[in-house]
Amino acid sequence: MSTRHLVIETRLGPITLVAKGETIVGLYFRHHVRRPSQETFGLEVVDSTDPLLNEAARQLRHYLAGRRRQFDLPLAAEGNVFQHAVWDIVKSIQCGGTTTYGRIAEQVADRSLAQQVGQAVGANPLCIFVPCHRVVGSNGSLTGYAGGLERKQALLELEEPTAVSAGRLF
């Protein structure tokens, strides 16, 4: 399976999309925590030469412009069984909603695993596509995000229901 990548410019800065075969396996910001080495991304493709990466870029751009609320892409994150259990729960968080590390821990096993859940969320190689920005601290505070807290806040504000964001303007 050929691994390749495409770098796109977005309002959040450059984003690298990585594909392996017929699946998207990575989405990384330039200064992403746990960003793999550039060599693992394979060849860089030119925009418009790879249908899968082009579709991922198109959907991501539409999402960032507020014209899309979910993604329809073949995703394949590499991780262990626990990480996949956490990521499956994260995928189910609706756009505009949030949950906590503790609540995910309760769903996976028990609340005492909140720290391990945080580690799994932080290891998510498909941030935005698997919306780990929707996971917040137990008191609703913004906590760790591999792309940085400013990006996490921007993504949450982008998804905020219209009535809530309108209320913040006054």
- Decide if 38 contacts 137 (C-beta within 8 A): no
Q: Which tokens is 63 given?
A: 């999402």
Q: Residue written as tokens 């410019």?
A: 9
Q: Which stretch of DSSP H or E encloses residue 18?
A: strand 15-20
Q: Which tokens is 54 given?
A: 């082009």
Q: Which residues belong to the active site?
A: 132
- Decide if 123 contacts 83 (C-beta within 8 A): yes
Geometric angle at alpha carbon 81, from 75 and 83, rounded to 5°: 65
